[in-house]
Amino acid sequence: MKKLSVITLILALSVVANVGLIAFVIWLATHKDETIPTICGDEEPNPKLFKDATYQNIFEDLNSSEINEVLDYLYSQSELKLVKPDKANLTTNYIIGLELHVPNKSQALKFLDGNGREIPPAREAKAYLFLPQNDPPVVEEYIVAPIPRPTRYYHNPRRIKDIPYRVRQFSNTEMVVAVNLLRKEVATKVENMLKRSYGASFICKKNCLTFTASAVSSAFSKERKLWITSLYQLEFATLHPVGFQILINMDGINASNWKIEKLWYANKMFSSVEELVRKYENNEIPKALIRPPKASPGETSVPGSLNIRGKRFPDVPTSGPKQYEPQGHRYRVRNQHVDYLQWEFNFRMSYASGIQLYDIKFQNERIMYELSMQEIIVIYAGATPHGLYAQLSDSAFGIGNRAHGMMPGVDCPEHATFVDSVIYNEDNLTPKTYPNAICVFEHNTALPLRRHRSGSSRSGFFNSGLVDYVLILRTMFVMFNYDYIIDFVFHQNGAIDVKVHSTGFILSSLYYHEEGAYGFRVSESSIAPVHHHLFSFKADMDILGTKNRYMTLDTEVENRTRKWYENGEYHTQLTFKRNLKSTEQKAAYKYNFNTPKYHLIINNDKLNKYSEPRGYRILGKGFSKQILPENHGFERTITWSRYQMCVTKRKDSEDTSSSMYSMFDSGDPVVDFVSYINDNENIVDEDLVAWLSLGMHHIPHTEDVPNTATTGNEMSISFLPFNYFTEDPSMGSRDAVRVDSKIKSKGQKADVTIERYGTPHKFSCLAKQYDFQKIVNNASVLFQQP
């Protein structure tokens, strides 16, 4: 009996214990410990924040399997005689790049505006092919369709002119030949001279020279040529030139005809390696004597590197402020489609020309069909070939494949959404993922978008404002030494900004007195030349439809009398005139401070409450005058840069302002932008495209070392609603805060209310932090390593 009781007791206790354990587990699952804060926004965002979960993005870039399908199809077309990039050389046909061929606008709009009733346009690829085996050798852009299961390819109908092989973009195949030629014809023959002149050489284990190549634009030569500049192989090379330069003539597809045409050494030009070496050995020329730069006393890093040096601050290491999203993202990025408050748009990365946005809508109305980058150029100067010939068109290297590896916490906030791009180019046999190519984040600018404090009994005591929360889509292109940051910024009042910042390492030339006309010394041995950065953007505006007008409001001074004014005297004041631009030539705007004006794209059929046409204003802050003479050399292929803004009638065949061929085609540009204007079509009540140029003249100074700072180097274009809404559309924002203070009777304490429109404002969560171990574990997040 006693024994039974003990067993019963044990059993009972065990049941109680189990029930207790289960109850504790249930309690744990349903009660978060109030003392341990959760991570801010760890949950999925509320789906009610977003519009359409099933959105089909017809602008989404080709994915890896789509690219592979297109590659397989093209390789199976025997008449194209294509080889794979690892077997390619100057004389073989091969695919140098491939990307989505964006549908024609008419087809795209039919689908986008079809309320789900229309089928999407067929997905197509655009393949860039080198076809040296054709007679004559050409570059072809073939459209491959449909995807999936391609069955046909045809010439890109938007490309009107043939593309001669000579004007092709840069390729690995020709760089391999150029490097071999340098190694065989120069490096060994001048090794002795280089070691004695510079204490370094190309054949080395330490104290090495490296080089950069800058194409000789067709401004200077009908043939395809490359100037090579020698530099110390240090962090970062472009700050350490030694002044030894080599001109390679790489015209034609027969590598055996390529030759070293000129050499520049100690400020003198030579016609051959043999002439240079002979004159050097015979002491017939002055000899350069330069040594690799060393760290300053007390420092470990070479001047120009990015290691910390100088007086350290703050005195105690402390972290600066960070941003966090207390309730998680208020935007969604899915299939390259962004949904944010009242905004939505699509984005993609063009292998050729960089970042592009499509179908930008605010409050369900399309503002722009396309907002895209077109070209980046830099025009250098100098007393030696290196600077003098450097008039560079960056798309010749492909811009889209220069964006990857943005660093969380520095390049974009830690809470940003990082998006990879998938690019196919000749570097790989298969498509490659480029991590962190684009980032999207909501940002608290810490600046009120609008605010007012009223403190008088006449108007009342209130303070109302709205922080300028914005969504930013950002990418960065690293064009070897220089870094360009491109932001698209979406505000709550319907405004969009495009911002360009430049940073990175400057190019420099070896210092000697003649270079003083072109720059300032930035180190013991180098001088950085003046240059002009220019950027081309396309804005295909659709204000309440495609039937739009371009009008300027030209501010003027009027002198007039009024009967009631001061004894009938003249008075002088501002006024403005509406100036409707009827044709493309009248809409080509060259920078002119004497006639300040507003640039408006309006819809004359859609009037606001006060019978004014609804529209958007385009505001350029960074318009920069291109002062090279028209039709002189390189200028012929960058005719977009003549205009800070021009408006043309939209055509599928006038797709871009520039092309990957603009480095070498100024004799007869493949994209002849000025012809878009010269035909002088009517632009009243037509589908309009605004072509916008930004730029800055850069005269580098010592503070550009080691990197140009973004501050002071910002250029932007804003697209601002103008008589489009009846009032500021941000008035509907629950992010606003209003404080009222009312005094019921004199001498009493004021009755103060704070209105936040239901938006929570007290949080006890922990800011989400990026796990940097991801980078330590996988360097490819930042670097594309061989």
Catalytic positions are 394, 482
Q: With H, G, I as helix, E, B as strand and everything else as coil, classify residue 584.
A: coil
Do β-strands 645-649 and 241-249 pair in parallel, antiparallel, or remain unpaired?
Answer: unpaired
- In angstroms, the CA 448 to CA 469 distance is 9
Cβ–Cβ < 8 Å for 492, 469 = yes
Minimum CB separation from Cu ion for residue 534, in Å?
11
123 contacts Cu ion (rule: CB under 5 A) = no
- In angstroms, the CA 310 to CA 296 distance is 10
Instruction: Report the sign of the C-alpha dihedral through residues 265, 270, 273, 279, in that order.
Output: negative
- In angstroms, the CA 697 to CA 394 distance is 17
Minimum CB separation from Cu ion for residue 625, in Å?
16
- In angstroms, the CA 690 to CA 538 distance is 6
Binding mask 749-778 for Cu ion (x = CB under 5 A): ------------------------------
Binding mask 641-680 for Cu ion (x = CB under 5 A): ----------------------------------------
Reading the block at residue 327, the tokens are: 């309730």
Do β-strands 391-393 and 331-334 pair in parallel, antiparallel, or remain unpaired?
Answer: unpaired
- In angstroms, the CA 665 to CA 454 distance is 61
For helices 273-281 and 191-198, what crossing angle results, to 10°? 60
Minimum CB separation from Cu ion for residue 768, in Å?
36
Minimum CB separation from Cu ion for residue 376, in Å?
11
Smaller CB separation from Cu ion, 697 or 768: 697
- In angstroms, the CA 210 to CA 230 distance is 6
698 contacts Cu ion (rule: CB under 5 A) = yes
- In angstroms, the CA 72 to CA 62 distance is 14
The interface with Cu ion within residues 388-407 (CB under 5 A) comprises: none
The interface with Cu ion within residues 293-312 (CB under 5 A) comprises: none
Minimum CB separation from Cu ion for residue 704, in Å?
8
Smaller CB separation from Cu ion, 507 or 663: 507
The interface with Cu ion within residues 515-544 (CB under 5 A) comprises: none
Stretch that binds Cu ion, among 491-499, 522-530, 589-597, 691-699 (CB under 5 A): 691-699
Minimum CB separation from Cu ion for residue 353, in Å?
20
Instruction: Report the sign of the C-alpha dihedral through residues 456, 458, 459, 461, in that order.
Output: positive
Cβ–Cβ < 8 Å for 557, 574 = yes
Size of the residue set binding Cu ion (CB under 5 A): 1
501 contacts Cu ion (rule: CB under 5 A) = no
Question: CB nearest Cu ion: which residue?
Answer: 698
Minimum CB separation from Cu ion for residue 532, in Å?
9
Cβ–Cβ < 8 Å for 92, 253 = no
Within 36-166, strands assigned E span 82-83, 93-101, 123-131, 138-147, 152-155, 163-164
- In angstroms, the CA 780 to CA 435 distance is 7
Minimum CB separation from Cu ion for residue 523, in Å?
16
Stretch that binds Cu ion, among 136-144, 149-157, 573-581, 696-704 (CB under 5 A): 696-704
Buried b (16+ CB within 10 A) or exposed e, 491-512: bbbbbbbbbbbbbbbbbbbbbe
Stretch that binds Cu ion, among 86-94, 567-575, 693-701, 759-767 (CB under 5 A): 693-701
Reading the block at residue 760, the tokens are: 């929570």
Residues 6+ apart with CB under 8 A from 180: none
Phi, psi of 380, deg, nearest 5: -95, 180
Smaller CB separation from Cu ion, 126 or 533: 533
Q: Footprint of Cu ion on this chain (CB under 5 A)?
A: 698
